[in-house]
Amino acid sequence: MSDLTELRDRMRTFTEERDWDQFHDPKSLILALVGEVGELAELFQWLPADTARDRAQEPHLHQRTGEELADVLLYLIRLADVLDIDLAQAALHKLEDSTTRFPPKNFHGQAPEKH
């Protein structure tokens, strides 16, 4: 079984065992996701941009970052489950779209701008 399917099923069981389905409407889950993204941001906010990647290899920060990334992923998986969205499929489609929209020869070394 795939990673994402396994994690989805485990989250589903975890939720049911605590009768927490009642809290997992989409807006609440998005707010929970925002909370975890905020905790991730706090770990990196004051690190110098050019050394942040190396600093994140220090054991304590590496551990904490893994925990926050995990929290974001778990709420994302739960949200997709509640909304009947196949997350792996959606990600593959999106990546194919981006591959077409941003041809390497036009976007080489050039970040797409968002205005």
Question: Tokens 């997709």 label which residue?
Answer: 80
Among 12, 59, 79, 100, binds its own copies (CB under 8 A): 79
Residue 20 found at the interface with its own copies (CB under 8 A) = yes
Number of residues near its own copies (by CB under 8 A): 84
Residue 58 found at the interface with its own copies (CB under 8 A) = no
Query: Is-contact 88 4, C-beta < 8 A?
Result: yes
Residue 37 found at the interface with its own copies (CB under 8 A) = yes
Residue 9 found at the interface with its own copies (CB under 8 A) = no
Residue 85 found at the interface with its own copies (CB under 8 A) = yes
Closest approach of its own copies to the CB of residue 36, in Å: 7
Residue 94 found at the interface with its own copies (CB under 8 A) = yes
DSSP string, 18-66: TT-GGG--HHHHHHHHHHHHHHHHHHHTTS-TTTHHHHTTSHHHHHHHH
Residue 76 found at the interface with its own copies (CB under 8 A) = yes
Residue 101 found at the interface with its own copies (CB under 8 A) = no
Hey, is 46 helix, strand or coil? Answer: coil
The 8-class DSSP code of residue 22 comes to G
